Chain A
């Protein structure tokens, strides 16, 4: 995987920062989260021009062939701005899964449109229980004379309501496989689900004898799925770290300007000490996210441990910081008009996707040999 130089990475991050500062303001986020699509097609087009959906996709398939370090850097910006987009579903999970499976014909057909942002891809990874393991898959695939058909249900599918390309995990008699499904196929229902985080789009899918095309796998299928999950976790960790930092910053700004008892509330130790503890959370999240990206980029045997560490450290830091932020603001943050609850909602959503903090603490311990 060809990584950018540190300067190029920093330039890309700056460009994303400037674009989001202009086009992904709080007002933009609020407007976008009220739309059925849950993303702004114009902004998606601008992000696509910058190459974000194709960041991880090989140059042969129209991407830039970058890796986890670049992804983590731009996700810090995306998280800080609460960007609403299908990037995680399409450019991260679907793109990584396809590349890891290695079905060259499918990749040549599907990846260029994902890379350009013209198509939105997503993967049905798990069932209603939300266990991000092979055992969590509730779809079965059966062979028929006319090809494979899928039956069952998938849940928590990112941006399925917007998907042009739909991939689904399903059990066959021989084990797990990945199938490509036409999102408009007979027998498939895609039911958007109302989400606590209004900037997120999830759908529940039911399959009744839905025709599907099995993708070839060059290795164990779960390894490819795990690769996609690990990349998603690095992206999420970056998002959590960036959002944690932004939330801390606006909370500290408020503590410096809100006057009670004749002085800024940040001068009271009750607030100041909370802020100091949150700085430790924010810095630790940033370190953990960047470390996970670096270990994954270099293909280190420590990568799974680093990714799980980042998964629970960043999730906990983001939830802790946003929850404390509301308390530190007081009444103003109990209003819908204040952005703090938008961050808390995102934090609580991010802490559930691809494994809870408890799941990742357990995985971390197992990676350490226990």
Chain B
């Protein structure tokens, strides 16, 4: 492919969007296929894999044009967790089978990582995958799996070797979900929603070609996948939660206190100001980290974002409750403000536990950013079958 100037590229993508995209096509299943075929979905990738072999600045030009047109589908070489992981670590037959469909949004996916006995200590998984030559047979239980009911494949970690230390006996698979041994049970959460599922795996069959990386090297593949997941979550966290934020809109806590008639309460005013400040300070930290990165210097601030977000969410919910007082005793459609406050109080744990608890996060910050000594790991260098378990 001949090299284009930035201006030529911008003209080409803008013209293509003008010719093909219209807002009515939102939700149109054929749209993504057109984006992929035109080379706009993964411009950083090679031509063999739907790409244009562009460097990051030119790929950003394409993404910006899509964003300006409010058209989905570009930038998947940064944001499509599944396709990126598969392309980086998958076998040739599996890539040929699934990379295209993943980019076109034709394949439902889910994550099969956590287990009841392996949360913060994810490398302690006990789901087993036994090598039968052309296939693996999987038995075990996974948890905290969203979108499992409609998934075609799950990215699965399972233990293939019990005689080596825990990190070295894990393998990573694309596990076909539409088979009899896969049972998905919705999990009722403290919020009374069922966003997550438990997944029971009984004699589940996985073709040998669906192994990513080599057998026993799944922990490394997982790190690749988690890095993509974090970068995607980072992008999502920076956007507004719903729709476009009105810059002139009043801060929700101020509006709530005004509506509840307690905005003059000096104690609440202090708490409201502090809760808003936590949010604002996090936004300033993120902006500074991005500026540092743009100048080529790495920033320790990014690692703080999740911890900061936990504090923001718990504090917002606490102040909401303080504003409402006795109203927070109730739930149901007659008490929408209490519903919000009570929901947010419980849902804040989604952030302070999910994706690494605040305590694990503090370990990571202490060790990787501040250079403090690592936690001792009693199970690091012993065969996994000798590792102590609950009640053991």
Docked Cα-Cα span, A152 to B12, in Å, equals: 75
Docked Cα-Cα span, A288 to B359, in Å, equals: 25
Docked Cα-Cα span, A271 to B276, in Å, equals: 28
CB distance from B202 to the nearest CB of A (A): 38
Docked Cα-Cα span, A362 to B268, in Å, equals: 10
Docked Cα-Cα span, A252 to B308, in Å, equals: 20
Given contacts A313-B277, A364-B273, A370-B272, contact A276 B301 (CB under 8 A): no
Interface magnitude class on chain B: 35 or more
Contact segment of B80-88, B135-143, B314-322, B362-370:
B362-370
CB distance from B317 to the nearest CB of A (A): 19
* A312 & B373 in contact (Cβ 8 Å cutoff): no
* A312 & B254 in contact (Cβ 8 Å cutoff): no
Docked Cα-Cα span, A35 to B72, in Å, equals: 68
Total interface residues on A, using CB and 8 Å? 34
* B370 & A275 in contact (Cβ 8 Å cutoff): yes
Interface residues of B in 246-286 (CB under 8 A from A): 250-251, 254, 257-258, 263, 266, 269-270, 272-274, 276-277, 280-282, 284-285
Residues of B within 8 A of A284 (CB): 281-282, 284-285, 308
* B274 & A276 in contact (Cβ 8 Å cutoff): no
CB distance from B345 to the nearest CB of A (A): 22
With A287-B301, A309-B281 known, 9 other A-B pairs at CB within 8 A are A267-B375, A269-B375, A272-B362, A275-B370, A362-B270, A364-B276, A365-B269, A368-B276, A370-B254
Chain A interface (Cβ within 8 Å of chain B)? 252, 255-256, 263-264, 266-267, 269, 271-273, 275-277, 279-280, 283-284, 286-288, 290-291, 309, 312-313, 358, 361-362, 364-365, 368-370
Docked Cα-Cα span, A277 to B373, in Å, equals: 16
Residues of B within 8 A of A309 (CB): 277, 280-281
| Chain B: CB-nearest residue to A368 | B251
Interface of B is mostly: helix
Instruction: Indicate if B333 sits at the interface (CB-CB under 8 A).
Output: no
* A267 & B374 in contact (Cβ 8 Å cutoff): yes
Residues of A within 8 A of B272 (CB): 365, 370
Interface of A is mostly: helix
* B254 & A365 in contact (Cβ 8 Å cutoff): yes
A279: which of B276, B287, B369 is its contact (CB, 8 Å)?
Answer: B369
* A279 & B367 in contact (Cβ 8 Å cutoff): no
Docked Cα-Cα span, A269 to B374, in Å, equals: 10
Q: Which 5 A-B pairs have the closest CB atoms?
A: A267-B373, A272-B366, A266-B372, A287-B284, A361-B273
Instruction: Indicate if B351 sits at the interface (CB-CB under 8 A).
Output: no
* B285 & A287 in contact (Cβ 8 Å cutoff): yes
Residues of B within 8 A of A291 (CB): 284
Residues of A within 8 A of B370 (CB): 252, 266, 272, 275-276, 279
Q: Identify the interface centre among A269, A283, A290, A368: most chain B CB within 10 Å of its CB.
A: A283
* A362 & B273 in contact (Cβ 8 Å cutoff): yes
Hey, what's the 0/1 contact readout for B100-124 against A, CB within 8 Å counting as 1? 0000000000000000000000000
* A273 & B366 in contact (Cβ 8 Å cutoff): yes
Docked Cα-Cα span, A266 to B273, in Å, equals: 33
